[in-house]
Amino acid sequence: MSKYKLSHLDQLENEAIFVMREVVAQFERPALLFSGGKDSIVMVRLAQKAFWPAKIPFPLVHIDTGHNFEETLEYRDKLVQELGVDLIVGSVQESIDQGKAVEEKGPNASRNVLQTITLLDTIEKYKFDALFGGGRRDEEKARAKERFFSHRDEFGQWDPKNQRPELWNLFNGRKHIGEHFRIFPLSNWTEMDVWQYIAREKIPIPSIYYAHEREVFMRDGVYLAYSPYITLRDNEKIERKVVRFRTIGDMTCTGAVLSNASKIEDIILEVAAARETERGSRADDKRSDAAMEDRKKEGYF
Amino acid sequence: MDNIEIMEKEFSSQEYLDMDLLRFTTAGSVDDGKSTLIGRLLHDTKSIFEDQLEAVEDASRKMGDHHVNLALLTDGLRAEREQGITIDVAYRYFATPKRKFIIADTPGHIQYTRNMVTGASTANLAIVLIDARNGVVEQTCRHSFIASLLQIKHLVLCINKMDLVDYDEEVYNRIKADFEDFSSKLEIQDIRYIPISALKGDNVVDKSENMPWYNGPTLLFTLENVHISSDYNFVDPRFPVQKVIRPQSDEYHDFRGYAGKIEGGIFKPGDEVLALPSGFTTRVRSIETMNGPLDEAFPPQNIVMTLEDEIDISRGDMIVKPNNQPNIGQDIELMICWLNEKPLLLGGKYAIRHTTKDARCIIKEVLYKVNINNLHKIEDDLSIGLNEIGRIRIRTTQPFFYDSYKKNRGTGSIILIDEATNETVGAGMII
């Protein structure tokens, strides 16, 4: 019977494809949240596979903090053009200009939390009823409690104590008007699975995942990229280092790691040897023990 | 070999790509040490990262624990940490060079049985924990029964906290005998017993030196080697259509494919197939994926199937083979596990979901309720409330194409949805 056996990556791929097709069948206006990070890149590949030979039947949505790595934007624009799908950009700067969001103050100011406001606004504006996210349960302990189909009320809130049971592969996407769902096809993937899949499928990734020289500075034990959006504290100084990024998010809170990894195989070895989670270098998660749960309840990714 | 070489062997070679996947659930009473066991498995297979461990150490100190409370690794929600209990199913991941594992960690509280059913619905194997000091208790029976009802093929009974009974073989033998007595009522063929101490690590990953009388494998060895490839049904071909793919592009102008998951059997190009409910027969033209056409498709593959003739097929229909058809009907008997505070309403109408089909149904009859502690039938109280299990008969608005749950988990399971609240209120297994 070994002929009829799927490897664990194939099983994960099949599970994600099933979920994506189910969403397109059950919802009217789905969209895929695209950050330019490795997880959303894998999601795009899975979406291609799920609907092939048809085009991906939903737009990509980028919630843009305005603090982007340039390489991410280049990658995004090229990808969208190749796929022939629509790109919708929700701008945090616009939310600030409209007075819906207020910029944080001080040297630790980040637009991470503000993204939630822009995200919920964008959902409302385009009347999206299902948003694919690249969240994985291995990332963070609050995410470990996520469903594939995760219900959000009319305020975009998540109620972790009152989630719908999810059995077999019978997904219940029924909702009332104004509510929506967040969909997590990569729920069962680990960071290692994502990298192995990128390697197996030979998917191109933004260059900042590979080692490169960059101006960085140390804050709370984490190297951050120096950029015009940063206010340095007195004791902080800019250094040039060879680094790469393990995750891609807002420039102001995404930590770099010292690395010489120049190809995907190097990255895989690095991930295998890592003694810290990828979110260990995310300043946004260090705010409190339940930072992720609190943000998610309000409607965060 | 130094560390890097070992890692290269583990992660960069074909071995990682060929690894298979085992999904298991863990169940136990509140204080059986379930979260400690998971923490131990993650810790001893080096699946915990330093920052996670630091966070847990921090949290343990705040809670006044003297040792690192590994339970905090899985109890992720604020309310869980505050109350020191597990509320919701938590999923955890670890890998050894042999397998990747997905753990559905389900709470042991009586009021959270619905989580156990949820976790069990996709599992290949269930671990049930027993506190060696207490032996087989009601919850042991309940969890084992649920595992059996959900057709989990392998059950591992971990007799935990052996360190607290001086690693006494007698204790182990008595508990094993007690459970063997009970388990004759279950439908699980493969039951294994392992004496462990999750806290101290005995027989979890490493063989215990404290129990020389136990000659069996450790828990991790068992998880790595249990044979699961025959857990799918490869005999009865079932392909519920999930979505029709019509590219309407120049290149694929006439392409019309049926996307979905193979729920049973094997399909090959050229096979004669029958579409339900229309009853038309045709042949499989091709089985397509973005990576190229396949010679055959088997469960749980998700594919696109094209057919020789254009016949009317849409989502909710099923493609099968003329000589092997599922049951077709509107009157269905099933075991239902109730998941909602509002009890099952006899005569009530619910939305029902089966494979890719949505319909409505009416609850025609409650035949009996099961006492899940001793598996006795209860016939004088037919109300089915939260966390209760019973046998019912329903009538659906349209014909369903189904198999018994025993024959096929995919075509034998349903969920009931409350049409007012949209909540998933019942999980059903067709008899």
Residue A199: inside a domain? no
The three-point CA angle B266-B270-B272 to 5° equals 75
Query: What pLDDT is attached to residue B156?
Result: 97
Closest Cα of chain A to B398: distance in Å?
Answer: 18
The DSSP bridge pattern shows strands A130-132 and A30-33 to be parallel
How many other C-beta atoms can be found within 10 angstroms of the C-beta atom of residue B60?
17
Residue A278: inside a domain? yes
Residue A213: inside a domain? yes
What is the C-alpha to C-alpha distance for residues B110 and B114, in angstroms, rounded to an integer?
Answer: 9
Which residues, at least 6 apart from B422, have a Cβ–Cβ distance to it below 8 Å?
A172, A174, A175, A176
Would you say residue B88 has pLDDT above 80?
Answer: no
Task: Judge: B248–A49 Cβ closer than 8 Å, yes or no.
Answer: no
What is the C-alpha to C-alpha distance for residues B155 and B139, in angstroms, rounded to an integer?
Answer: 15
Beta-bridge partner residues of A215: A240
Are the C-beta atoms of A195 and A38 separated by less than 8 Å?
A: yes
Q: Looking at the structure, tell me whether residues A26 and A173 fall in a common domain.
A: yes
pLDDT-based confidence at A196, cuts 50/70/90? very high
Q: Looking at the structure, tell me whether residues A184 and A230 fall in a common domain.
A: no
Q: Looking at the structure, tell me whether residues A67 and A211 fall in a common domain.
A: no
Q: Looking at the structure, tell me whether residues A124 and A171 fall in a common domain.
A: yes
Query: What pLDDT is attached to residue A145?
Result: 81
Task: Judge: B117–A167 Cβ closer than 8 Å, yes or no.
Answer: yes
Tell me which DSSP letter residue B344 carries: P
* pLDDT tens track for A158-182: 888 778 899 999 999 999 999 999 9
Q: Looking at the structure, tell me whether residues A174 and A255 fall in a common domain.
A: no
Are the C-beta atoms of B193 and B177 separated by less than 8 Å?
A: no
Closest Cα of chain A to B172: distance in Å?
Answer: 34
Cβ neighbours of B356 in A, within 8 Å: 22, 25
Question: Chain B residue closest to A142 (CA)?
Answer: B76
Query: What pLDDT is attached to residue B296?
Result: 96
**CATH code where residue A67 lies:** 3.40.50.620
Question: Structural domain tally of chain A?
Answer: 2
Q: Looking at the structure, tell me whether residues A220 and A117 fall in a common domain.
A: no
- Coil, strand or helix at B175: helix
Would you say residue A205 has pLDDT above 60?
Answer: yes
Pick from A144, A139, A186: nearest CA to A163 = A144
Beta-bridge partner residues of B239: B319
Would you say residue B29 has pLDDT above 70?
Answer: no
- CA dist A276 → B7, B36, B90, B402 (Å): 16, 21, 21, 47
Of chain A, the percentage scoring pLDDT greater than 90 comes to 49
Lowest-pLDDT range, A56-60, A89-93, A199-203, B407-411?
A89-93
Residue A198: inside a domain? no
Which residues, at least 6 apart from B166, have a Cβ–Cβ distance to it below 8 Å?
none
Query: What pLDDT is attached to residue B338?
Result: 95
pLDDT-based confidence at B171, cuts 50/70/90? very high
User: Mind giving me the DSSP string for chain A?
Assistant: -GGG---HHHHHHHHHHHHHHHHHHH-SSEEEE--SSHHHHHHHHHHHHHHTTSPPSS-EEEEE-S---HHHHHHHHHHHHHHT--EEEEEHHHHHHTTSS----STT--STTTHHHHHHHHHHHHT-SEEE----TTS-TTGGG--SEEEE-TT----GGGPPP-BTTB------TT-EEEE-TTTT--HHHHHHHHHHHT----GGGS-EEEEEEEETTEEEE--TT----TT---EEEEEEESS---TTTBEEEE----SHHHHHHHHHH-SS-GGGGBGGGGS-TTHHHHHHHHT--
Report for A278-292, B5-19, B69-83, B95-109: range of highest mean pLDDT? B95-109
To test the contact with chain A by mutation, choose from B11, B122, B336 the residue with the greatest count of A C-beta atoms within 10 A, namely B11
Spell A68-90 as b/e; 16+ CB within 10 A means b: bbebbeebbeebbeeeebeeeeb
Of chain B, the percentage scoring pLDDT greater than 70 comes to 88
Query: What pLDDT is attached to residue B47?
Result: 75
Cβ neighbours of B425 in A, within 8 Å: none
Place of tokens 């005999």: B235
Give me the mean pLDDT over the B136-146 stretch. Answer: 88
Report CA Rg, chain B: 24
Are the C-beta atoms of A105 and A91 separated by less than 8 Å?
A: no
Residue A201: inside a domain? no
B47 close contact with A: CB closer than 8 A = no
Which residues, at least 6 apart from A102, have a Cβ–Cβ distance to it below 8 Å?
A96, A114
pLDDT-based confidence at B239, cuts 50/70/90? very high
What is the C-alpha to C-alpha distance for residues B329 and B404, in angstroms, rounded to an integer?
Answer: 13
Q: Looking at the structure, tell me whether residues A141 and A9 fall in a common domain.
A: yes
pLDDT-based confidence at A1, cuts 50/70/90? very low
Pick from A53, A64, A54, A22: nearest CA to A185 = A22
Lowest-pLDDT range, B3-12, B283-292, B359-368?
B3-12
Q: Looking at the structure, tell me whether residues A175 and A225 fall in a common domain.
A: no
Backbone angles phi, psi at B155, to 5 degrees: -125, 130
What is the C-alpha to C-alpha distance for residues B344 and A11, in angstroms, rounded to an integer?
Answer: 35
B213 close contact with A: CB closer than 8 A = no
Residue A202: inside a domain? no
Element spanning B415, H or E: strand B413-417
Which tops the pLDDT comparison, A44 or A109?
Answer: A44
Q: Looking at the structure, tell me whether residues A54 and A112 fall in a common domain.
A: yes
Give me the mean pLDDT over the A224-228 stretch. Answer: 86
What is the C-alpha to C-alpha distance for residues B130 and B431, in angstroms, rounded to an integer?
Answer: 30
Residue A233: inside a domain? yes
Of A15, A174, A190, the CB nearest to B417: A174
Closest Cα of chain B to A243: distance in Å?
Answer: 20
Cβ neighbours of B409 in A, within 8 Å: 168
Would you say residue B138 has pLDDT above 80?
Answer: yes
* pLDDT tens track for B34-76: 878 888 888 888 777 666 777 777 777 777 766 666 666 666 6
What is the C-alpha to C-alpha distance for residues B23 and B152, in angstroms, rounded to an integer?
Answer: 10
Q: Range of A178's domain?
A: 2-193+290-298
Q: Looking at the structure, tell me whether residues A183 and A98 fall in a common domain.
A: yes
Domains of chain B: 3-225 (3.40.50.300), 239-320 (2.40.30.10), 327-430 (2.40.30.10)
Residue A130: inside a domain? yes
Q: Looking at the structure, tell me whether residues A154 and A269 fall in a common domain.
A: no
Q: Looking at the structure, tell me whether residues A7 and A128 fall in a common domain.
A: yes
The DSSP bridge pattern shows strands B239-240 and B318-320 to be antiparallel
Task: Judge: B51–A277 Cβ closer than 8 Å, yes or no.
Answer: yes
Would you say residue A234 has pLDDT above 80?
Answer: yes
Are the C-beta atoms of A144 and A160 separated by less than 8 Å?
A: no
* pLDDT tens track for B335-391: 999 999 999 999 999 999 999 999 999 999 999 999 888 788 999 999 999 989 999
What is the C-alpha to C-alpha distance for residues B53 and A136, in angstroms, rounded to an integer?
Answer: 19
* pLDDT tens track for A129-164: 999 999 998 887 777 888 999 999 988 888 887 788
